[in-house]
Amino acid sequence: MRIDRRMLLGGALATAFAVTASATELRGTGDLGLVVERADGALLVVDTTERRTLRRIEGLGDLSHASVVFSRDARYAFVFGRDGGLSKVDLLTGGITHRVIQAGNSIGGAISQDGRVVAVANYEPGGVRFFATSDLVPLGEIAATYGADDARSKVVGLEELPDNRFVFSLYDADEIWTATLGEDGPTVTARFEDVGTLPYDALVTPDGRHYLAGLFGEDGMALLDLWDPAAEPVRILDGYGRGEAPLPVYKMPHLKGWSVAGELVFLPAIGRHELLVVDKTSWREVARVPVHSQPVFAIARPDGRQVWINFAHPDNNVVQVVDVPSLAVVGALDLGPGVLHMEFTPKGEEVWISVRDADRIDIIDTASLERVTSLEARSPSGIFFTARAHRLGY
Amino acid sequence: MSGRTWVSCFVASALLPMVAAADPSAARQGELIHLLRHDCGSCHGLTLKGGLGPPLLPATLDGLPAEGLVAIILDGVPGKPMPPWRGLLPEGEVAWLVEQLQAGAIDVE
């Protein structure tokens, strides 16, 4: 379907045309995705089969650090902006169907297991707000209050869980909370205190069983077994820095989407130039992979055979590829400054990489590590493909 | 850098009234603003309205001594995610950034 923006903006006639066009030119959404053009507050709708941009969507506010989750029909995207904006976008028409400014400053969100609720993690005011995915009507809030004076903490690492639950961490309070959303709004089901200093982000394993929060203030991570109702968070990887002073961190690692490859989990060592490799049954460190610099993302190819890593400033021009069976770095690509994000096609034959300062998306063949083609994009950051719609923790 | 850019930088700095001797060149100023928005912005927000780190807007920096802010940027905040930039940014450039931040002279939109 080819509807350019002129037609969409052109009023009744254009709308009539659009409806006809979408009714006659049916297509699926399984090979579509979004690229965030963060400086412009815009999104590109991309097609990963044709390797091209279908349309550009503008008017989404401050998209620095923006992230996206997809409706379970994989037609709509929910876009979380830094400025508290939450937008529902239709990939097929390129329209913004609903948009609310739901907070002053937010960091990301999650969509419930049943696809009916989208939850947003807010820095200001600190807490989680819930909205109906149908029309973004508010469904309630959990204020992340702590301490004697009920200060509000920034919320990070918000993830959806099986049984329609959610889990998140309180950066300023060193706590992990779980919550459900019932008829009368959201309720906190568990509150764990003193989980470790400054949890900055978290991930949930693909089976929804384990929640792992990264700690900025110490060498270790907090692990919560969500299948065990009596479980408390435990510290894993304690003292991974072996007492050496950490190097400065010029960009916080993102844990959402960090790698679980088969039985192994690849984690960033904060302030160190290495990946920690952890066994998913014992949660013990089994290896370390020395890498180029401080990792920001380490993302497994969907089959778990490779892990791709990008790095913090001033080394954000490089991407490295780790071969999982041998735990060796088998490739490095210098794509130019500002490599911000990587996203695999649904079965992983290609990876799309945003190179912010080159205004480019590079599409790389993951077997040959050769560049297939590039697309233009203005200051691109996050890349999100609709295959995420059916994965827990994405 | 192309010859044309050099010429326009030269013209731009020639037109600026009262440029202090230590101010970065116009080209370097552009790079510093880019770094501020993108690399500081990953924690402080692309529009500097705050993120994991606090906002860096004139209203929030008002009343804080410039030397103190320069020291925070050069040496970081131990135990917190604010990293030290010493070694990556010379002190004169940091002082210039703080001056711009406090004056609200940076167009962040």
pLDDT digits (tens, 9 = 90+) for B49-90: 899 999 999 999 988 999 999 999 999 999 899 999 999 999
Query: Which secondary structure element, helix H or strand E, spans residue A19, and what is its range?
Result: helix A12-24
The pLDDT of residue A12 is above 70: no
Which of the four pLDDT bands, split at 50, 70 and 90, describes residue A269?
Answer: confident
Mean pLDDT (chain B, rounded): 81
**In a domain? residue B54:** yes
Distance in angstroms between the alpha carbons of the first and the last residue of chain A = 28
The pLDDT of residue A253 is above 90: no
Mean pLDDT (chain A, rounded): 90
Strands A138-143 and A306-311: unpaired
Distance CA A146, CA A255 (A): 24
φ and ψ of B14, to 5 deg: -65, -30
Query: Which secondary structure element, helix H or strand E, spans residue A328, and what is its range?
Result: strand A328-334
Average pLDDT of the segment spanning B24-31: 92
Which of the four pLDDT bands, split at 50, 70 and 90, describes residue A221?
Answer: very high
Angle at A291 between CA A322 and CA A278, to 5 degrees: 65
Q: What is the pLDDT of residue B28?
A: 94
The pLDDT of residue B7 is above 90: no
**In a domain? residue B97:** yes
The pLDDT of residue B108 is above 90: no
**Distances from the Cα of B57 to the Cα of A167, A170, B3, B30, B32, angstroms:** 32, 25, 35, 19, 16
The pLDDT of residue A328 is above 50: yes
The range of the structural domain enclosing residue B45 comes to: 3-15+25-103
- Contact: A217, B49; criterion CB under 8 Å: no
Question: Two tokens at A76?
Answer: 């709509």
Does the CB of B84 have a partner CB in chain A at under 8 Å?
yes
Q: What is the pLDDT of residue B38?
A: 85
**In a domain? residue B20:** no
Count of beta carbons in the 10 Å neighbourhood of residue A108: 25
**Which among B42, B46, B76 has the least Cβ separation from residue A251?**
B42
Distance CA A257, CA A135 (A): 27
The pLDDT of residue A3 is above 90: no
**In a domain? residue B108:** no
Q: Which of B72, B36, B47, B43 is nearest to A201 (CA)?
A: B43
Query: Where is pLDDT greater, at B47 or A165?
Result: A165
**In a domain? residue B71:** yes
Query: Where is pLDDT greater, at A106 or B8?
Result: A106
* CATH code assigned at B53: 1.10.760.10
Strand partners, A89: A77, A96
Instruction: Report chain A residues whose CB lies below 8 A from the CB of B77.
Output: none
Q: B7 exposed, middle or buried (CB, 10 Å; 0-12, 13-18, 19+)?
A: exposed
Amino acid identity of A114?
Answer: D
**In a domain? residue B99:** yes
Report the number of distinct structural domains present in chain B: 1
Strands (E), A144-284: 145-146, 151-152, 155-161, 165-170, 175-182, 185-192, 199-204, 210-215, 221-225, 234-236, 259-261, 264-268, 274-279
Angle at B83 between CA A251 and CA A255, to 5 degrees: 30
Which of the four pLDDT bands, split at 50, 70 and 90, describes residue A142?
Answer: very high
Q: Which of B21, B2, B72 is nearest to B43 (CA)?
A: B72
**In a domain? residue B84:** yes
**Distances from the Cα of B28 to the Cα of A10, A221, B18, angstroms:** 44, 40, 18
Q: What is the pLDDT of residue A24?
A: 53
Does the CB of B8 have a partner CB in chain A at under 8 Å?
no
Question: Two tokens at A71?
Answer: 């409706």
Q: What is the pLDDT of residue B109?
A: 61
Q: What is the pLDDT of residue B45?
A: 86
Query: Which secondary structure element, helix H or strand E, spans residue B93, and what is its range?
Result: helix B91-103
Interface residues from chain A to B (CB-CB < 8 Å): 38-39, 62, 64-65, 82-83, 105, 107, 123-124, 154, 171, 197-198, 200, 216-217, 248-252, 313-314, 338, 356
CA distance B17 to chain A (A): 30
Q: Which of A377, A300, A380 is nearest to A338 (CA)?
A: A380
Distance CA A268, CA A65 (A): 19
Instruction: Report chain A residues whose CB lies below 8 A from the CB of B81.
Output: 198, 200, 216, 249, 252
**Distances from the Cα of B108 to the Cα of A62, A161, A370, B47, angstroms:** 11, 37, 37, 5
CB A264 within 8 A of CB A305: no
CA distance B99 to chain A (A): 22
**In a domain? residue B35:** yes
Q: What is the pLDDT of residue B17?
A: 38
Q: Which of A88, A111, A107, A108 is nearest to A99 (CA)?
A: A88
Q: What is the pLDDT of residue A260?
A: 84
